[in-house]
Every structure is written in structure tokens, then in C-alpha cells.
Homo-oligomer: A and B are copies of this chain.
């Protein structure tokens, strides 16, 4: 597989977890590539048996396509974990580097990272690391802004990797594993007031809360 094909598969995979129907336009927007280019690339991926393509129908990965995507996501997340745990990077610095290193073709390299990290199950953003075959554990995370007032949740993962978002999470004093209790949802802008580990309280914008993933 080429780097380009790997990026298409990964993008389709990620879009599928956000919305059940993935369109050519979604893919084009997510990859910042024009629709006709995407249209011809998905035909090519379909010819390789990695996705199902029928004119004017939503795209979907085949089992094989999902596993191929999973293998790349595994490499990405292992690298992110290595950068944080073994090389001293912050969680907001690693995504861009991992976007490149995930395409390195060397099983010994990623196997060694996996061993040095003691076979981690999650990356620094709380996302699950697929197994070596590309199978990914399904997670039952809830967006914080879908939570109920008065209930306490555990901050388990983040939905996006944008550095500016992760830095803002830092600013709010939030860390994975924190207990977040929803105190109040402000009617004016839908921002959410949470207590953090029963100690401080913070006001999180809807945009921030929508990318905070929690479990019960």
C-alpha cells in the first residue's frame, strides 16, 4: 500500500466512527483533497477489495480495509505512546510526528516499541491501540456534553488530536482519569460547569465538552 492509500483508509475509518454514513464529500473535506480525486481513489481502493463503492452510495470499508486501517492506527498510537513515555514529549506534540512515522515499513521497529512500552492498550489520548492484526477494541465512550447534570464521569479520552485543543485541556487543569461531575449546563451558550476530582470547578465551552470523552 502507498502512503496515499494508507491515509485514505485511515480517514474513512475515523469518519465511520463519527457518523455511520461516509460520503465522498466527507472524505474530500477530511483529506483536503478535491472530490474528483477522491472519487477516482475510492474506485481504486474498491478494486483492491478494501472498500465497497457503488455510485452515489455511502462508502464503507470491507473487513480487510478495516484491518488494514487498524494496523496503521496501531502504529500511529504506539508511536504516540512511545514519544510521550520514552522521549518526554507532551500529549499535544505527538500527533503530527506520528502521522509521519505511522507509514514506516518495519515490523521489528513497531514490535520493539510495543515491547519497550509493555504492550500498552491505550495511547496518550486514551484511544485504544488495535491488536497486531488491526482489530480494534470497541469503546463505549460518551461525549461530556451528552452527560447528565449531577452525574460524575471519568475523563477517559479525547475525540480530536489538534494541539490547540489539547493545550486548552491542559489550561483547564484536566487530565485523563480525572473525575468530572457535571454541576450545571448554562442555557445561554450550552457551556458546562464541572467539578474536577471534587476539588476545583471549571467552565467548559460546548466545543470543548463535545470533544471530551467520558465513561461512567
Contacts and interface: CB of A to CB of B under 8 A. Distances in A.
Contacts of A87: 112-113, 116
Contacts of A96: 106
Interface string A110-125: 0011001000000000
Contacts of A104: 97, 100-101
Interface residues of A, number: 17
Interface in A90-148: 93, 96-97, 100-101, 104-106, 108-109, 112-113, 116
Nearest to A93: B108
A112 to B, nearest CB: 6
B112 A89 contact: yes
5 contacts: A87-B112, A88-B112, A96-B106, A100-B104, A100-B106
Given A89-B108, A96-B106, 15 more contacts: A87-B112, A87-B113, A87-B116, A88-B116, A89-B112, A93-B108, A97-B104, A97-B106, A97-B108, A97-B109, A100-B104, A100-B105, A100-B106, A101-B101, A101-B104
